[in-house]
Amino acid sequence: MSPAEALAWRAMVMTWVFYGLGALYVVGPVLGWVFAGMAALSLYLGPAMRSDLRATGPVPGVVWLWMAGMLVMLVALWGGHLGWGLGLKQTIKSSIGWAKGWALVALFIFAGAVLPIRREVLIRGQCAIGFWTLALAPLLLAAPYIGLPERIFTSPLKAIGGPGPEYFSVYFFTYDPASWTPRWQFYLPWSPFAALLGVVMVIFALEEKHRGWRAAGIAAGLLMILASKSRMGLVGLVACTVAPRMLPLVLRSSAWLALAGVTASLAVLGSWLLASAQAGVAAFKGARADSTRVRETLQRIAFERWREEAVWFGHGTVQPGPHLVEYMPIGSHHTWYGLLFVKGIVGFGALLVPLVAHLAVALVDAARHPRGRLPLGILMTLVLLSFGENLEIEAYMFWPALLLLGVHLREMATEGPGRPTRRQSAIHAKPQQSAITG
């Protein structure tokens, strides 16, 4: 492995160790800036750089779009703080938060697109995390039934500062306040986030060629989704794994003929299907009615206050919510409403433009080439995550997937777009033996 690959591999294998030390929130941002520094240095030195760290080519256009978007996010943050007179101290604090949040999205994609990192390393690393998750699962699952506490301890690293103490705490499990039943978040701060990372683990594992590692990754991902008891995780498991693999059908005439037949049948079955879908949505929301009510109320308050008080640059920061939303911060629990409330229409566009552009690139490539399936699944998971969580404060744990997005852009730039050649098809069908060992 190259030095960049070795760093990524060791950080992934050590995930549970870092979690046991309460250090994951520190490790993620450090990795992001280290990788970005290595990538910038390799671009600057060019041929003078050691061969196993040398830049693999020019920076793809989508990467520049991500970097510009995240810089605009910082400008929006400054605009909001200036408009609401939040002061220099708060502005500096929020800027540091940007460096540990939104900036990481662009930095990891940039590093993956420049540094010589193979996707096989990242895929095997995710499966390694899955292996250790399965190894620790019996203790975690038995904890609430054998009298072990919810939280083990909170790391002193919380003095560094962050969104909250839960980012530096180590848990066996937590109790759902609505039903008072145990839920598991594994190495994440809360359960819904663990479910979406479980989806990512399954997506990665499906690309693993070694049967044992693939089984470990898929089993661990399914466990994270089911044990977290997250509705969004179940949706992601189906949508983000099936859709990318079915996308190549859009290039086949037989698929369009089948679609025409299905469309014609809707004239007879359409009303029944619509009623069934509405009933399914109602049951989905009713599964955790209190959570749905709080989220919808938060979104409504955030939207109304953005529209009436701070259209362009937002309020600069989240604000405490009323008792109606159980004092949850306004601007949390939803990336898009949160961006409108905190950073206004400027921040909203700063994420929307690069995300849509990257999604379009991945959609086209997934329809034409097997290499596009994994990045498309990741982007679909990101989109799904954005409707239930705040991406900014979760980028520190999403970094392997962000690196892979950059790796994919580099592959497209070096191999070219379009259908795979006979040689590329052979590589995807039967890859060479990897040097990665677990």
Is 354 in a helix, a strand, or coil? helix
Instruction: Give yes or no for a contact between 231 and 287, defined as CB atoms under 8 angstroms apart.
Output: yes
What's the CA gap between 428 and 426, in Å, rounded? 5
Q: Using an 8 Å Cβ cutoff, are 102 and 70 in contact? A: yes
Note the pLDDT of residue 433.
44
Separation between Cα atoms, residue 128 and residue 213, nearest integer Å: 7
- Intervals of the chain under pLDDT 70: 178, 250-292, 322-327, 417-438
Alpha-carbon torsion 109, 334, 100, 156, what sign?
Answer: negative
For the entire predicted model, the pTM comes to 0.86
How many CA atoms within 13 Å lie on the side-chain side of 344? 21
Query: If DSSP codes are grouped into helix, strand and coil, which group holds residue 151?
Result: strand
- How do residues 352-394 score in pLDDT, each as one tens digit? 999 999 999 999 999 888 899 999 999 999 998 888 788 888 8
Q: State the distance between the two ends of the chain, measured CA to CA, in whole angstroms.
A: 13
What is the separation of C-alpha 133 from the centre of its chain, rounded to a whole number of angstroms?
Answer: 19
> Partners of 175 in the beta sheet?
182
Rounded distance, CA 395 to CA 274, Å? 37
Q: What is the pLDDT of residue 275?
A: 55
Rounded Cα–Cα distance for residues 185 and 65 (Å): 33
> How much of the chain is in helix, strand and coil states, percent to nearest 5?
75, 5, 25
pLDDT at 267: 55
Q: Six-digit token pair at 204?
A: 């990665």
Return d(Cα 234, Cα 227) in angstroms, integer. 11
pLDDT at 327: 64
Task: Classify burial at 376, counting beta carbons within 10 Å of its beta carbon; exposed 0-12, middle 13-18, buried 19 or more.
Answer: buried
Domain-by-domain residue ranges, the chain? 3-47+65-264+279-416
Whole-number Å distance between alpha carbons of 437 and 318: 44
E strand or H helix that includes residue 170? strand 169-171
Written as six digits, the tokens of 56 are 């693999």
128 near 214, Cβ under 8 Å? no
Which residues lie closer than 8 Å to 296 by C-beta, 6 or more apart? none
Contact 25, 101 (CB under 8 A): no
Which among 102, 103, 101, 95 has a CA at the least distance from the CA of 37? 103
Structural tokens at position 302:
């955030």
> pLDDT tens for residues 246-303?
887 765 555 445 545 545 554 554 454 455 544 554 554 454 545 667 778 888 888 8
Cα–Cα separations (whole angstroms), residue 188 to 66, 121, 257, 301, 430: 26, 22, 45, 28, 35
Query: Quick one: pLDDT at residue 279?
Result: 54
User: Residue 196 in contact with residue 206, Cβ under 8 Å?
Assistant: no
